[in-house]
Chain A
Amino acid sequence: MKYMENIVLRGEKISFSYDGVKVLKDCSFSVGNRDFAAVVGSNGAGKSTLLKICLGLLKPDQGNIWLFENSIDKFEEWDKIGYVPQRIMNLNLGFPATVEEVVSAPLHTSKKLKNLTKNEKKNLTDKSLEAVGMSQYRNRLIGRLSAGQQQRIFIAKALVSSPQLLFLDEPTTGIDNKTEEDFYKLIYKLNKDDGITIVMVTHDYTDIKSMVNRVIQISDGGISDKIHKDEDGDKK
């Protein structure tokens, strides 16, 4: 199995509790290069918590996360990671920022990206907007876009640093069915055509069942990490 040879994300016996309540117990899992992994489970199961632990936003009580074979404590190449949060929950619609300002924000963070010239940064922003089909909205205020368009902009922002691993936290919350379908097609394309590894937290697995090749199921604090189908699409 090719994807097992090149692990880009590995969780090792992760335990986490909120105010003394254990949410995750001894959870181990791995995601291979170019995988499309779905993190599934009922509401409150700990899916978003697991994602935040993978991103270093929360520290586990026990266990460790490995990103590209580096312990997360020592991991520095954050431009390899993209993150798309739950849009509706976080966005202040009155925020005075243009689409271009939002999408280019990560280009001023890591040392590697900061050294790019103005033109190179502009090109990366253009490419990213093009990838999500939003080039014509670059000067529009982010709050004046529809929910689906805003989510595409968040993806463009995550893609601008050319990440190899993209995390998405219930990205279709508050988006209508048609837009949701288009959105999944876009994510699938990023995975298949551009080779970006996807880890997506979702409450409704049925919609993406045909696209994913790995399922990380959380229930009662534990994890089952299953390969759903191999790279040619054959179910296991």
Chain B
Amino acid sequence: MMEILQYEFMQRAFIAGIMVAITCPLIGIFIVLKRLSMIGDTLSHASLAGIAAGMLWGFYPFWGALIFTLIGAVAIEKLRKTFSKYAEISNSIILSAGIGIAVVMIGLAKGFNTDLMGYMFGSIAAVSSKDIYIMGILSVIIILSVIVLHKKLFYIAFDEEGAQVSGVSVNFLNMYLTILTGLTVVVSMRIVGIFMVSSMLVVPVAAAIQTGQGFIKTTAISVIFALISVIFGLVLSYYFDIAPGGTIVLLSVGILVGVLFIKALRKRK
């Protein structure tokens, strides 16, 4: 395995992958516990629109993804209040708008190119130093935010009304969590691809929850599961020349199945 680290592009892929493996579960745990698993899908479609805009008008696609994802995050929260009795509608509206804008822009740019495919399905060769730099800054923001706010975010996820009564700024933190989810999508899209970001937010957490631990331990286990999936996924992707996004996600699904299997075996005993 060590010989693949002599290539600079693989070093960048591993650095990027480790950032994904840490940030996705840290945000995913709150999304899953708040039953908002769809939000990753929605924001990744908004980021696709931003990438397509960048490619069409010739600016760095990361900026496009960042701007569109943040707009999408704010819009989801606003729409959730407008459709308070059908909160999930807000996700469908932003997802539709995102994919609609992306398709129109891709059409105007005269179709797909290799770079766009890389963003959609993940790529180990395409991660540039500039990408790493931006991903690093976003990852630091995400990790520090979770370190500072995790107790309050936990309280909101467990008992939103109770948290509000205790004086927690629930509306602000819900909005901030959605924005952090948007940032996580942008961090992850280069390696796992837009279409699979949502899986990385949800699947390692789903597997960790099945281990039956408390909140802090579950979060730590989900990061470990994500790290295993990303590291082995990148190695397999390199040796078999397959898309890293799909490989990483399949490995994390494999871990989930393994955990469920062990749990079922224990129950029988």
What residues make up the interface of A, taking CB atoms closer than 8 Å to B? Answer: 52, 55-57, 76, 78-79, 81, 83, 85, 90, 92, 94-98, 100-102, 105-106, 108-110, 139, 141, 157-158, 161
Contact = CB atoms under 8 A, between A and B. Distances in A.
A43 to B, nearest CB: 20
Contacts of B154: 97, 101, 105
Interface stretch (B135-143, B214-222, B243-251): B214-222
Contacts of B33: 92, 95-96
B167 A105 contact: no
Can you list the 10 inter-chain pairs with the closest CB atoms, starting with the nearest? A108-B151, A98-B214, A78-B167, A96-B218, A109-B166, A105-B155, A83-B165, A106-B166, A97-B215, A110-B167
Contacts of B209: 94, 96
Contact of B162 (A98, A106, A108): A106
Contacts of A85: 159, 161-162
Given A78-B165, A96-B214, A101-B214, A90 B159 contact: yes
B164 A56 contact: yes
B152 interface: yes
Given A95-B158, A105-B163, A109-B166, 4 more contacts: A85-B161, A97-B158, A105-B151, A109-B163
Contacts of B159: 85, 90, 105, 157
B85 to A, nearest CB: 10
B168 interface: yes
B212 interface: yes
A55 B166 CA distance: 10
A39 B217 CA distance: 40
Nearest to A106: B166
Interface in B196-212: 208-209, 212
Contacts of B155: 105-106, 108-109
A104 B33 CA distance: 18
